[in-house]
Structure 1
């Protein structure tokens, strides 16, 4: 094969890879600009303030181009935040414990049984989680707490915790496996027990990777729509307790966007919600990058 042919193949391959990379960058920028333009219509076209959108308690946007309604999205934002945080509180202990078990306590069992099971959990569609939660978890919560209905923040949080469990577990396990074995050997050499090594050496050494896993799990929980919509109750009221039905950003967008008039105030408010979700996802990614850079700097 001549050098010219090799050079042309190298040039073609490098050009295709570069083109694909640039296409992803351009697509991301295009989506960002599109969301920024459509999401800002609530404030530019219809004259609502950012404080009203973020902290207002009344959600009654007009489904027309005249406007004049109320676009207080605080109840949706609060529902998303509370549901996601409770899901984290439930999932993180189980995820980190599972990651430690499959990497340091019983690696053989973890490799053959638990890791494949965790991967299966990650591949289950969200509608399946929502359906199981609706027919099993919701009636159980209703009966246990003697409620008029079991759809609630607690039900949504439990479903979300199961959904983000595989993500946090897998990334935490990878972070724990990357810890230098010499740290553990040194701790054992000083007479530390296995629990002391795990608690005082292993977890602190892997904490940046575990934090990254938690943020990714939070991002997944914050952006989930279908499963949450099936079990949260979709009541347009500020959440008062974990057992009360509520609403969230993703469920509101999924349920109302299809029927909202294009160019109307309701449509613009829903695009503002989408922009808010996009900004939150961007902040989660920035947090992950900062954690990774700080870890490399300290390495």
Structure 2
């Protein structure tokens, strides 16, 4: 009898916990749905009235004359994000491999807390570091050895390169942490089998461990992309915030540009009704970027399995 009462009490507690967890999960989904609904409700009518093509591919952003073309901001966001990922992804994965497979325990104990500490640094502090140190270095480079090849407007230091370096600093902790977890999750039997077959430690790492952790490494890079494309404050402080499309060529990394997030943050405070709707429509484009990035991740992971 006592056992039955105890089992019934246990079942009731389990049922309550399940319902609480279900409510929490539904709350997360509902929150995302409300955010999407609000953004689309505010921005979608403007996009249809103004013209989706004109809005996305228009090259002029002049709210005072009711001209809203966000293509320069799309180009600026893509350039900064692609450059940041091109630099940050290899470094982040290499650091993760070093921490998990190569570093002595004493060294790893020092580096891991440092990486975790980087995650907690406010973006505005990183932006200040960029304004004082990175901009000065890029300015000296563009006005010194590269001055013959760059126009004067590209010699201010405010540039895609400065923004990308800031983004690299901000995405590295995410990429390193998730990549390290993915590498740790590789079964030890894989490594032992490779070593037993005569592979060196380095051959085991790049031919067995890294390919086996590919799914997690892809997830780490994609999360880094999401963090980079959504960053606002730090990027505003160093990228120049100039609405222009850089010319094709290596010189474009020294061009000042404006990102989608920066455009919203800079102008929302004084935007009129139509201007405000245009900024919400810009948020829709950002939302679509994130959906596309996540969809690519899902497809890549499904192909792997």
Q: TM-score, normalised by structure 1?
A: 0.89
CA drift at 1:287: 3.1
Distance 1:248 1:288 in 2: 23
- Measured after TM superposition, the shift of residue 124 of structure 1 is 0.6
How is 1:211-290 mapped onto 2 (pairs within 5 angstroms)?
A: 211-240=218-247, 241-261=252-272, 263-264=273-274, 266-290=275-299
Q: Secondary structure at the match of 2:50?
A: coil
How do residues 84-99 of structure 1 correspond to structure 2 at under 5 angstroms?
Answer: 84-99=81-96
Partner of 2:53: 51
Q: State the secondary structure of the residue aligned to 2:219.
A: helix
Distance in 2 (alpha carbons) for counterparts of 1:118 and 1:84: 21
2:186 is matched with 179
Partner of 1:75: 72
Note if 1:61 corresponds to 2:63: yes
Q: Which runs of 5+ in 1 are unaligned?
A: 63-67
Q: Check the 8 A contact 1:103/1:110 in 2, yes or no.
A: no
User: 2-side partners of 1:291 and 1:179: how far apart?
Assistant: 19
Contact kept, 8 Å, 1:184 with 1:201, in 2: the verdict is yes
Q: Say which is worse superposed, 174-183 or 114-123, in terms of deviation.
A: 174-183
Q: Distance in 2 between matches of 1:121 and 1:224?
A: 15
Q: Secondary structure at the match of 1:216?
A: helix
Moved more, 101-110 or 157-166: 101-110
8 Å CA contact 2:171–2:227 kept in 1: the answer is yes
Q: CA deviation at 1:10?
A: 4.2
| Structure 1 runs, 4 residues or longer, greater than 6 Å off | none
Task: Specify the alignment match of 2:130 in structure 1.
Answer: 133
Residue 136 of structure 1: SS of its match in structure 2? helix
What does the per-residue CA deviation read over 1:137-156, in whole Å, with 9 as the maximum and x for residues that have no partner?
10111012206411111000
Note the residue ranges of structure 2 that are not aligned, 5 or more in a row.
144-153
Give the secondary-structure state (helix, strand or coil) at the position aligned to 1:242.
Answer: helix
TM-score of the two chains, using structure 2 as the length reference: 0.88
Task: Give how far 1:236 is off.
Answer: 1.1
The alpha carbon displacement at 1:18 in A equals: 2.3
Q: Does 1:31 align with 2:29?
A: no
Count of residues in Structure 1 that have an aligned counterpart in Structure 2: 287
Query: Any conservation in 1 of the 2:139–2:155 contact (CA below 8 Å)?
Result: yes
Superposed CA deviations along residues 178-206 of structure 1, whole A, max 9, x for unmatched, are 11222222222222222222222122111
| Contact kept in structure 2, 1:39 and 1:269, CA below 8 Å | yes
277-286 vs 243-252, greater mean Cα deviation: 277-286
How far the C-alpha of 1:283 sits from its partner, in A, is 2.4
State the secondary structure of the residue aligned to 2:253. coil
The alignment partner of 1:246 has SS state of: coil
What is the rounded CA distance, in whole Å, between the counterparts of 2:245 and 2:15 in structure 1? 58
